[in-house]
Amino acid sequence: MGTRGIVLLAGAVFGLLGALLVTWGNPGNMGYCAACFLRDVAGALSIHNTATLQYLRPEIMGFVLGAFLIALPSGEFRARGGSMPIIRFTLGALMMIGALVFLGCPLRGILRLGGGDFNAITGLAGFACGVGIGTYFLRNGFNLGRSAILSNPVGGYLMPVLAAILMVFVVIKPAFISFSAKGPGAVHAAVWVSLAAGLIGGVLAQRARLCLSGGVRDFILVKDTTLLSAYGMILLVSFVANMALGQVHWGFVGQPLAHNMHVWNFLGLFLCGLAAVLAGGCPLRQLILAGEGSLDGVMTVFGMLAGAGIAHRFLLASTPAGATPAGQIATVVGIGIACVIGFVFREKISLAKGV
């Protein structure tokens, strides 16, 4: 099967499982959501204390372990890192804050649209525009440096080992891990169903290099639609599956875990898209990179977990009533910070100085 065939297959499976996971117990229009699921993991680990958003989502561990299990035998697992870890951590936090203002990562934006939630349209438009600005910085020399292969490969196993430990915690439920008794954190598919869906998603995302920010970037830079075609397939298949399952509810109002403040839907995913391009991948892609042995991916994921903690401890995350005042301020400030990062880390500055 060629590259485009693998990409289309991955999109079809993500679209189908994205709809089925809702039927099997996940929240509405949230079969998959890297950002929301990491937010729940952050709650379970007490990085934030919102009682309704605490669950070790097995899909997250599945993404990491699926990528690891397919990358290892194929020779694509490489322990590497060292490319501006603090900046990547910061970009991960900004990515998460933007996603939680929108209430979902770009993958969930596609799945929300496939379930009839028109609020996703403005969010995805903002994401594309944010990627566009990030691509402008890339064209003008933005570069966080190359990751170096580690002489000791042990560090590359960090995220797969952590994912395996968290799966054990899901099963044994130790007292130091929090699990929601009500709210979105208590709404989920069966553990082994969620894990299987995550493993399948991790394998396919690794093989297809799924990344919506990468797809938009490639289209802007070289008019390549390969990665974008996967997300078109996700939208198509999720819509057909949701229709068959009776899960399509058209409109802007009353959508599950969504709001209709369109400016902040747009700007939330704008920030997410901008930070994703600068970090080298959207939330899903960062999890896959972490599973492949990238400590740069690990730092970005850790940044996303920290961003979830910041967003919920300081009331930055939106609610179904809309974006909070603090979240609106944080979004604008976050866009400014991301633009400063994009401007400062340009190779052309060094070249101009003769370095």
Which pLDDT score is estimated for 229? Answer: 97
Residue 149 has phi, psi (to 5 degrees) of -70, 130
Domain count across the chain? 1
Contact 226, 7 (CB under 8 A): yes
Residue 2: pLDDT band with limits 50, 70, 90: confident
Q: Which domain holds residue 347?
A: 3-352
Whether residue 37 is predicted with pLDDT greater than 80 in this model: the reply is yes
Q: How far apart are CA 301 and CA 85, in angstroms?
A: 11
pLDDT, tens digit (0-9, with 9 covering 90-100), for 308-351: 999 999 999 999 999 999 999 999 999 999 999 999 999 854 43
Which pLDDT score is estimated for 348? Answer: 55
Q: How far apart are CA 115 and CA 255, in angstroms?
A: 9
**CA separation (Å) from 257 to 146, 247, 314?**
38, 14, 19
**H or E, element range at 6:** helix 3-23
Q: How far apart are CA 114 and CA 250, in angstroms?
A: 10
Whether residue 256 is predicted with pLDDT greater than 90 in this model: the reply is yes
CA nearest neighbour of 206 among 239, 237, 160, 162: 160
Whether residue 354 is predicted with pLDDT greater than 90 in this model: the reply is no
Dihedral angle over CA of 84, 87, 92, 97, nearest 10: 180
Residue 346 three-state SS: strand
- Listed in order, strand segments (DSSP E) in the chain are 80-81, 148-149
Contact 239, 293 (CB under 8 A): no
CA nearest neighbour of 92 among 311, 257, 291, 323: 311
Task: Please state the rounded mean pLDDT for residues 198-226.
Answer: 97
Cα 336 to chain centroid distance, Å, stands at 21
Which pLDDT score is estimated for 350? Answer: 41
Whether residue 188 is predicted with pLDDT greater than 70 in this model: the reply is yes
Which pLDDT score is estimated for 1? Answer: 73
Q: How far apart are CA 115 and CA 260, in angstroms?
A: 15
Query: Hey, which residues does 287 pair with through a beta bridge?
Result: none
Residues of the chain with pLDDT > 70, as a percent, come to 98
Task: Please state the rounded mean pLDDT for residues 235-257.
Answer: 97
Contact 156, 77 (CB under 8 A): yes
Contact 265, 259 (CB under 8 A): yes
**CA separation (Å) from 167 to 61, 65, 76, 286?**
7, 10, 24, 19
Q: What is the DSSP string of 200-259?
A: HHHHHHHHHT--HHHHHHHHHHH---HHHHHHHHHHHHHHHHHHHHT----BSSS-TT--
Whether residue 355 is predicted with pLDDT greater than 50 in this model: the reply is no
CA nearest neighbour of 35 among 132, 135, 117, 104: 104
pTM of the entire structure? Answer: 0.96
The 10 Å Cβ neighbour count of residue 125 is 16
Q: How far apart are CA 12 and CA 164, in angstroms?
A: 27
Q: Which residues, at least 6 apart from 117, have a Cβ–Cβ distance to it below 8 Å?
A: 29, 249, 251, 252, 255, 256, 258
Q: Which residues, at least 6 apart from 149, have a Cβ–Cβ distance to it below 8 Å?
A: 78, 79, 80
Rg over CA atoms, the chain: 19
Please state which of the ranges 72-76, 130-134, 208-212, 345-349 shows the lowest mean pLDDT.
345-349
Q: How far apart are CA 162 and CA 168, in angstroms?
A: 10
Query: Hey, which residues does 251 pair with through a beta bridge?
Result: 117
